[in-house]
Each structure stands twice: as structure tokens, then as C-alpha cells.
Amino acid sequence: MEFTEFYVQAKDDCLRAVLASTGDRHLAEELVAEAFAKAWASWRTVARHPAPHAWVVRTALNTRTSWWRRRRREVSWDGLEEPVSASDFAFDDSVLAALRDLPTRQRQVIALRIFLDLDTETTAKTLGIAPGTVTAHLARATATLRAQLTSLSKNGRQING
């Protein structure tokens, strides 16, 4: 597969997965763009990866971590970051809020297993953790999301997901 074909097929899924992990559309777009640039530069290697789209998502998440480490010594955050809304990317605001409340690793597992539909083994390899850990994080995350979203719907709020 050529890079251009891969990009066209994978860009939306990768953006959706990174967005689910970060909760910030602008940041997710930057991270995915950076990851695709790195994928293009290393396309021979990335094309042979068992799940190139997972490589892109993992690279995007690693880039976020690198950016955060560099910026944590800079001037503190001013609190003006605009959270993503449902109208921005076909997500219900309550679902995004619930995703943001999950621990980072659980968000990453949800992004790879649910949004990219990767199997447990590929998710484990992508995140550098054991398959059992993926299963445990997925179970905890889905239970937490189910409880939060069920509570919202019982309180009369309609959830469109």
C-alpha cells in the first residue's frame, strides 16, 4: 500500500482515536499531523508494521507526552483551553467528558480497542503492556463509562453517541 492510500484510509480513524484519548480536537489534529509526517518519513518501516494505523496513534500519543514533558517547565497553563464539543467531531459532549475523566492508560486502551478496533495483542504491543493489562484496563474503562453515561441518561439527559 502506498502512503497516500494509507493516509486517506486511516486519517479519520486515527484522529478519532487520538481525540478520544486527549479530549481536545486542536491538540489531536496537531498530534495526528505530526504522527503522519513521521510515518511518511519512515514509510518503509511503518508499512511493514502489523497495524500501521496503531503506529500512527501511538506515535501521536508519544508526541503528546514529549510535548508535555518539554512544556511542564514553561509558564503554567492559563486555563483557556477550549474543550472539544459534539459539533466538532461527531461525539456527544457527555461521552467526551466521561472519556476525559478516565485515567490516561484507560483512554489509550479505549482509543485503540474501540475506535481503531485493534485486537488485544496488537493493542498490548502498541502500548508496550501485557495483553491481560489491556483487558483489565478495557474492563475498568467500560464499566466506568457505562456507570457515568447510565447515570446521565437516568437523570433525564439524552445521550447521542
Computed over every residue of the chain, the mean pLDDT equals 82
Task: Compute CA distances 32 → 15, 37, 43, 68, 129, whole Å.
Answer: 6, 8, 15, 16, 22
**Above 80 in pLDDT, residue 53?**
yes
**Where does residue 117 fall: left (phi above 0), alpha (psi -120 to 50 degrees), or beta otherwise?**
left
Are 24 and 84 in contact by the 8 Å Cβ rule? The answer is yes
What average pLDDT does this structure show over 33-57? 93
CA–CA distance, 36 with 144 (Å, rounded to integer)? 32
- Please give the tally of structural domains in the chain: 1
- What does DSSP assign to residue 160? -
**Above 90 in pLDDT, residue 3?**
yes
Q: Which cell numbers in the block locate residue 4?
A: 497516500
Q: Which domain holds residue 43?
A: 3-73+87-154
33 in any annotated domain = yes
CA 91, chain centre distance (Å): 13
25 in any annotated domain = yes
What average pLDDT does this structure show over 62-77? 60
What is the SS3 string spanning 78-114?
Answer: CCCCCCCCHHHHCCCHHHHHHHHHCCHHHHHHHHHHH
81 in any annotated domain = no
**Above 60 in pLDDT, residue 78?**
no
70 versus 104: the higher-pLDDT residue is: 104
80 in any annotated domain = no
pLDDT of residue 42: 92
Grouping H, G, I as helix, E, B as strand and the rest as coil, residue 68 is helix
Are 146 and 152 in contact by the 8 Å Cβ rule? The answer is no
pLDDT of residue 148: 84
159 in any annotated domain = no
What average pLDDT does this structure show over 64-79? 56
CATH number at residue 138: 1.20.140.160
79 in any annotated domain = no
Residues 106-151 pLDDT 10s: 998 998 888 888 889 989 988 899 999 999 999 999 999 888 888 7
